[in-house]
Amino acid sequence: MSEIGIEHGRRGAVARPRLAMNKRDVRVLLFFGLIMCDVAAIRAGFSVGLKVRGWHWLAPNGVELGWLILPLYILLTLRNGAISSEALRRRSESIRRSVSAFIVATGATMTLVFFQYAGELVSRVAFGVSIVSAIGFIILFRLIFSICFIAPIRGGLMSELLIVDGVPPRAGAFHVFDAEKAHFVPDLNDPQMLSNLAVLVEPYDRVVVTSVESRRHSWAMLLKAYNVTGEIVLDQGSPLGAIDVSRYHGSDTVVVSGGQLSLVDQIKKRTMDLAVATVALILAAPVLLLTAAAIKLDSTGPIFFAQVRLGRGNKQFKILKFRSMKVQATDPTGARSTSRDDDRITRVGRFIRATSLDELPQLFNVLKGDMSIVGPRPHALGSLAGDKLFWEVSQKYWLRHKLKPGITGLAQVRGFRGATHEQSDLEHRLQADLEYIEGWQLWRDIIIIFNTLRVIVHPKAY
């Protein structure tokens, strides 16, 4: 923690922040550096392609395709956030967004070339090598740039200032200004003080004020005048778990929920669900038929078992599974957890539960829209953790239904599956489910799907 230096000698004197360089200027330089890296990467990629075939094979009508792709790519990176603060902070996002922009730019360019230069020949081999090489160089150059120029920046890319007024400083603050020690009073009737405060906050992106209650209103009014993100720390926080504030017909409101996924994210997730479920059903069709035949031959009763579960928005739906228990022993509410030597389970049922084959019919739930491929696993209404219903263990349980339930999820790939004999069994799953919801990304769903393949056969699956 460093305390901001003060020029003493007069009331409310101008604060002199000891910052080597304005973080905003640093970010601008880093943005320029990312663009230069990408330009170099694309040119390097096409240089490799030119080694495969002659220049004219990549230049219909005398214009090399790499030079056509480049300006469109830069525009797309500015549009999709590949050149942004988020891309600087997170390498995965930087790579994902830049590669996505390059693929879109390449597709658009090739469409233009097809219609504009239909009579000209382009070497598919040389062009393919150029594109693959350019993507590889984009990833490599961005990683090197991040390691060499972004990671070493002390204090991160966003400059923050903590102003303390009559209360102790908060732990973890890097730049601190003690208003009381500097005799700095938040006075709305003092123009000179307002000017001094402007000098103080100018180098920062975020200014947080922690003060005695009597001066919070004044600080809040002051911060509204400056080009910073201003925040006031409350003593006990919001009893409602606020994540933001807003306005409603002239009144202040406390935002306690950010809503579900954006429309674009919903479309991406639903598209992936339909694609994966359709392909999986086609590939698994022989297994589905053999499993259905085995269940029918092993015991009397229906092939499928439908049970009421909790879905998105805590709405109930019927989940579909292969029947693994004797008909007279099925548990409609799920009040009794299965055990390793459960006498309710049939011979075939024991095998399909151990190999997770009993879950395959849930692909039909995905096609119907009740479920997703990846999400928090849906629970039966009567499920118990120890001797308590799931929602009696924690009220946060209801928050896990913000997204559609999934066939698999983050909790499952971490090994939190099987019976919930103790309350901690549910708490571990709940923690993973809420972590998944808060940090949802399509790429994470794909990773979870591949990780699920490693835990299909699991010692807790009985």
Type of residue found at 62: G
Same domain, 117 and 98: yes
Closest CA to 402 of 373, 435, 429, 426: 435
Share of the chain above pLDDT 70, in %: 83
Handedness of CA 424, 427, 433, 439 (dihedral sign): negative
pLDDT in tens, 279-290: 999 999 999 999
Highest mean pLDDT of the ranges 48-52, 60-64, 342-346? 48-52
Residue holding tokens 């499928």?
A: 304
Closest CA to 406 of 435, 436, 375: 375
Same domain, 226 and 268: no
Same domain, 14 and 29: no
Do the domain assignments include residue 459? no
Spatial CB neighbours of 213, under 8 Å, sequence gap ≥ 6: 235
Same domain, 327 and 350: yes
319 sits in the region (left: phi over 0; alpha: psi -120 to 50; else beta) called beta
How many residues in total does the chain contain? 462
Same domain, 77 and 10: no
Same domain, 286 and 431: yes
pLDDT in tens, 233-253: 876 655 666 667 766 556 556
pLDDT in tens, 13-37: 544 445 445 677 888 899 999 999 9
Tell me, what's the pLDDT at 421?
A: 80
Same domain, 14 and 28: no
Same domain, 139 and 215: no
Number of domains the chain contains: 3
CA distance to 84, 309, 362, 428, 442, per residue, from 382 (Å): 47, 9, 20, 19, 32
Per the prediction, the chain carries an average pLDDT of: 83
Same domain, 111 and 250: no
Which residue(s) pair with 161 in the sheet? 207
Report whether pLDDT(89) > 80.
yes
| Nearest-angstrom CA–CA distance, 397 and 40 | 50
Closest CA to 255 of 270, 272, 238: 238
SS3 for 79-142, per residue?
HHCCCCHHHHHCHHHHHHHHHHHHHHHHHHHHHHHHHHCCCCCCCHHHHHHHHHHHHHHHHHHH
Residue where one domain finishes, among candidates 150, 174, 209: 150
Tell me, what's the pLDDT at 386?
A: 82
Same domain, 438 and 343: yes
pLDDT in tens, 352-397: 988 889 999 999 999 999 999 999 999 888 888 888 888 888 878 8
pLDDT in tens, 254-283: 465 666 677 668 888 999 999 999 999 999
Same domain, 126 and 191: no
Same domain, 90 and 234: no
Give residue 206's domain range. Answer: 2-19+159-255
Report whether pLDDT(118) > 70.
no
Residue 150 carries which DSSP code?
I
Residue where one domain finishes, among candidates 150, 175, 198: 150
Q: Are strands 160-165 and 244-248 parallel, antiparallel or unpaired?
A: unpaired
| Residues 201, 228 contacting (CB under 8 angstroms) | yes
| Nearest-angstrom CA–CA distance, 151 and 128 | 33
Count H helices, E strands: the chain? 14, 15
Residue where one domain finishes, among candidates 255, 271, 287: 255
3-state secondary structure of 388: strand
> CB 378: neighbour CB atoms within 10 A?
26
